[in-house]
Amino acid sequence: MRPKEETSSGQSSGRPAKPGRPEPIIRPLAAVDLAPAGRILFEAFKNVFERHNFAPPFSSANMAVKLLTFFFTQAHFHILAVDLNGRLAGSCVADEYNPVVGVGPVSISPEAQGFGAGRRIMEAMIERYQNRLGMRLMQDAFNLASMSLYASLGFEAKEPAVLLEGLPEGPAPAGVDVRVMEAEDLAGVNVLCMEVFGLDRSNEIMEAYERGSALVAVRDGRIAAYATVVSRAGHGAAETDQDLAAVIHAAGRESDRDLAFLAPTRRSELFRWCLKQGFRVAKPMTLMARGAYQEPAGAFFVNSRY
Amino acid sequence: MEAQSDTKPRPDAEIRIRPLVPRDLEACGRVQYEAFTQVSRRHRFPVPFPSARSAMRVIMAYYRQPNQLYLVAELDGRPVGACVVDREGMIRGVRSIAVDPEVQGLGVGRSLVAGVLELCRDAAGVRLTQDAFNLTSLSLYASLGFEVKEPLVKFEGRLKDRPRPGREVDRLGDRDFEACRDLCRRVHGIERDLELREGLRQGSAVGVFRDGRLTGYASAVSPGGYGMAETFEDLQQIIAFAHRRSWEPFSLLVPIRQAELHRWCLDQGLRAVKPMALMTHGFYQEPRGWHFVSGRY
């Protein structure tokens, strides 16, 4: 028997199909696929996370189906499916909201791994977005198969990051006022986003503002930091680590359950502050980018795609 | 925290950091073996020592080197933690930081690393490499002021293309010492003599010369050595040269933000074995060239 290739974001380290092997077929995901694709998403992540003894992101298949269904109903997400031998073998989600496309989650059924389905679905994504500014994703650093696959497809490791969980236990950073984002903040927030990431994420910011989840920190009358939401679904940027710390602290104060967000560990001051506040490191990750990339010029945290 | 059995030390037990003495060897070998085995097995990554005895032999080798200091952490008089630190150099490397799994969570690791920092306070900096799946050590080092600088991947295998090194790459001798130092100062802003001298003595040091000028070198092409070059091509030459001189599978700690180097390792069929991170305390300069790191830094 052929040894299973390790995978991760639940996917195979995939090689091009050889003659006689089933050829992966790529197509858009359909509504009828949501339940099986969600189950695969659950299984694939459970498989690789449990193998390396980290807590899986989904506690049940139902939770994964719900997430995938949410993406499916949002206009700016596109989901590809991959079939192997006429059966659904996995899926990949892309966030088309911004000029830079965010990829993930990617999942290939544990039984279908080793046939190049992961590679094929990523190649199809790259093909689809070849005219975009770039593509990015967050990869679980313990999953060397997915890291190697993405690297071989031209994604470059840019930032080591960690999932942090907990609630701030210490005092808030002094001198920074944090409040809910208002309509007149939008221009300033977009400028700060452009300064820090060199990217237009105005759609994402607008949506968070409309949802009411976005926060800003104001210092000397200027927008010094913002977060669309302090969770894996949101990102934030700031002039300094302390400004971003103030936003995270404020989000924690308003929350009755643990925050969970993805922080780049090379931002040492912010990372140290988070540890001091009692946040726990839950897993190691890597931000990978393909195409345009600018070293962030300020403090930041990322969502589960970038 | 889990309930503590009678044999476990109290949380207020006294921790003392001191140099290793020969009678610690067995206990420290066991601590090194147990600590690394437990965390690597838990996350399903390769175990660095096959046995407590092999860990003991490694410690003994360090113990005999005059420029290495082996530190022991004692809890209520019992050796429960250990690490090795460079005694000299602008930047001191720390390795093999281990705490007996039985007493983890009592501050032994923290005292040990704080002891290292105290000992190295006259140095420009202290550095280490850390297993990225070990979240406890990541958090500990970060809280003591170490900063993550580079994500690393340990690669193993043989180069698929068996690249033929050019004539400009050769073994280095003592006469090349100053040129290496100069290059290291340009690329990393530091001098790094300890491993270089080792590499020259052992014959593992390799260099690239262009127009009579050293443009890249490695103290050894293995996790026991480091390498750097002005261009990617020169670093490839160094690796290719070392590869050709040995039939053994070799391994390399690659800072993967160097995307071309990362991709090249994969294209050459090297296998990613584990994710790691380079962490630094004190002076650091973003490298101005291509490089790979040693297990120290």
The dihedral region occupied by A103, where left means phi > 0, alpha psi between -120 and 50, and beta the remainder, is beta
In this complex, do B151 and A156 lie within 8 Å of one another by their Cβ atoms?
no
Cα distance from A241 to chain B (closest Cα, Å)?
14
Closest residue to B151, CB basis, from A275, A280, A286: A286
Cα distance from A7 to chain B (closest Cα, Å)?
13
Q: In what order do the strands lie in the sheet with A236-238?
A: A177-180, A215-219, A222-227, A236-238, A299-301
Instruction: Assess contact for B98 and B81: CB atoms under 8 A.
Output: yes
Q: What confidence score (pLDDT) does residue A5 get? A: 41
Q: What confidence score (pLDDT) does residue A8 get? A: 44
Structure-derived torsion over alpha carbons of residues A211, A212, A217, A219, reported in degrees to the nearest 10: 110
Give the residue from chain A lying closest to B142, CA to CA: A272
Mean pLDDT score, B76-93: 95
Strand partners, A144: none
In tens, the pLDDT along B258-282 reads 999 999 999 999 999 999 999 999 9
Q: What confidence score (pLDDT) does residue A221 get? A: 87
A residues 213-232 closer than 8 Å to B (CB): none
| DSSP secondary structure code for residue B4 in this structure | P
Superfamily in which the B156-292 domain is placed by CATH: Gcn5-related N-acetyltransferase (GNAT) (3.40.630.30)
Query: Prior bond to A105 cis, omega within 30?
Result: yes
Q: What confidence score (pLDDT) does residue A166 get? A: 98
In this complex, do A144 and B266 lie within 8 Å of one another by their Cβ atoms?
no
Best to test chain B binding among A5, A15, A50, A156 (most B CBs inside 10 Å): A156
Say yes or no: domain B15-123 is CATH 2.40.50.180.
Answer: no
How many Å from the N-terminal Cα to the C-terminal Cα in chain B?
Answer: 33
Give the CA diameter of chain B: 69
Instruction: Evaluate if residue B107 carries a pLDDT over 90.
Output: yes
Cα distance from A182 to chain B (closest Cα, Å)?
35
3-state helix, strand, coil in chain B (%, to 5): 35, 30, 35
Query: Which residues does chain A have within 8 Å of residue B143's beta carbon, measured at their own beta carbons?
Result: 272, 275-276
CA distance A32 to A27: 13
Say which residue, B13 or B224, is predicted with more confidence: B224
Query: pLDDT per position in chain A (306 positions), as tens?
Result: 344 444 445 554 455 545 577 899 999 999 999 999 999 999 999 999 999 999 999 999 999 999 999 999 999 999 999 999 999 999 999 999 999 999 999 999 999 998 999 999 999 999 999 999 999 999 999 999 999 999 999 999 999 999 999 999 999 999 899 999 999 999 999 999 999 999 999 999 999 999 999 999 998 889 999 999 999 999 999 999 999 999 999 999 999 999 999 999 999 999 999 999 999 999 999 999 999 999 999 999 999 999
Interface check for A292 against chain B (CB to CB < 8 A): the answer is no
Q: In what order do the strands lie in the sheet with A87-95?
A: A25-28, A77-84, A87-95, A100-108, A134-140, A280-291, A156-166, A259-264
In this complex, do B266 and A151 lie within 8 Å of one another by their Cβ atoms?
yes
CA distance A190 to A196: 10
Chain centroid to Cα A76, Å, comes to: 15
Instruction: Assess contact for B39 and B129: CB atoms under 8 A.
Output: no
Identity of residue B176:
D
Helix (H) or strand (E) segment spanning residue A37: helix A34-51
Instruction: Assess contact for A37 and A90: CB atoms under 8 A.
Output: yes
Mean pLDDT score, B53-78: 92
Q: What confidence score (pLDDT) does residue B63 get? A: 87
A residues 147-186 closer than 8 Å to B (CB): 147-148, 151-152, 154, 156-160, 162
Residue B230: pLDDT band by 50, 70, 90 thresholds? Answer: very high
Mean pLDDT score, B242-254: 91
Residues 6+ apart with CB under 8 A from A100: A132, A133, A134, A135, A136, A199, A291, A292, A306
Q: What confidence score (pLDDT) does residue A11 get? A: 52
Closest residue to A160, CB basis, from B42, B148, B259: B148
What does the radius of gyration of chain A's CA atoms come to, in whole angstroms? 19
Instruction: Assess contact for A217 and A224: CB atoms under 8 A.
Output: yes
Closest residue to A141, CB basis, from B44, B132, B263: B132
Interface check for A142 against chain B (CB to CB < 8 A): the answer is yes
What is the residue-averaged pLDDT of chain B? 94
DSSP string, A187-255: HHHHHHHHHHHSS--HHHHHHHHHHT--EEEEETTEEEEEES-SSTT--EEESSHHHHHHHHHHHHHH-
| DSSP secondary structure code for residue A109 in this structure | -
What proportion of chain B, given as a percentage, has pLDDT over 70?
96
Closest residue to A144, CB basis, from B142, B148, B272: B272
In this complex, do B153 and A147 lie within 8 Å of one another by their Cβ atoms?
yes
- Burial call B89-106: b when 16+ CB within 10 Å, e when fewer: bbbbbbbbbbbbebbbeb
In this complex, do A54 and B149 lie within 8 Å of one another by their Cβ atoms?
no
Closest residue to A284, CB basis, from B42, B133, B150: B133
Closest residue to A52, CB basis, from B43, B139, B267: B43
Residue B10: pLDDT band by 50, 70, 90 thresholds? Answer: low
In tens, the pLDDT along B23-46 reads 999 999 999 999 999 999 999 999
Best to test chain B binding among A53, A164, A267 (most B CBs inside 10 Å): A53
| 3-state SS class at B20 | coil
Residue B4: pLDDT band by 50, 70, 90 thresholds? Answer: very low
In tens, the pLDDT along B180-193 reads 999 999 999 999 99
Best to test chain B binding among A48, A50, A268 (most B CBs inside 10 Å): A268
Instruction: Assess contact for A247 and A238: CB atoms under 8 A.
Output: yes
CA distance A244 to A250: 10
Q: What confidence score (pLDDT) does residue A15 get? A: 52
Interface of B with A (CB under 8 A): 42-45, 132-133, 135, 138-139, 142-143, 145, 147-151, 153, 256-257, 259, 262-263, 266-267, 272-275, 277
CA distance A283 to A193: 26
CB atoms within 10 A of CB A281: 21
- Which of A297-306, B2-11, B130-139, B268-277 has the lowest average pLDDT? B2-11
User: For B62-65, which contacts have Cβ atoms below 8 Å and span 24 or more sequence positions?
Assistant: B63/B20, B63/B22, B63/B25
In this complex, do B148 and A271 lie within 8 Å of one another by their Cβ atoms?
yes
Q: What confidence score (pLDDT) does residue B75 get? A: 95
**Where, residue-wise, is CATH 3.40.630.30 in chain B?**
15-123, 156-292
Say yes or no: domain A164-301 is CATH 3.20.20.140.
Answer: no
Q: State the pairing for strand pair B125-131/B91-99.
A: parallel
DSSP string, A251-293: HHHH-SS-EEEEEETT-HHHHHHHHHTTPEEEEEEEEEEEE--
In this complex, do A162 and B138 lie within 8 Å of one another by their Cβ atoms?
yes
**Where, residue-wise, is CATH 3.40.630.30 in chain A?**
25-154, 164-301
Handedness of CA A149, A154, A155, A156 (dihedral sign): positive
Which of these CATH numbers, 3.20.20.70, 3.40.630.30, 3.30.420.40, 1.10.3720.10, describes A25-154?
3.40.630.30
Query: Which residues does chain A have within 8 Å of residue B147's beta carbon, measured at their own beta carbons?
Result: 266, 268
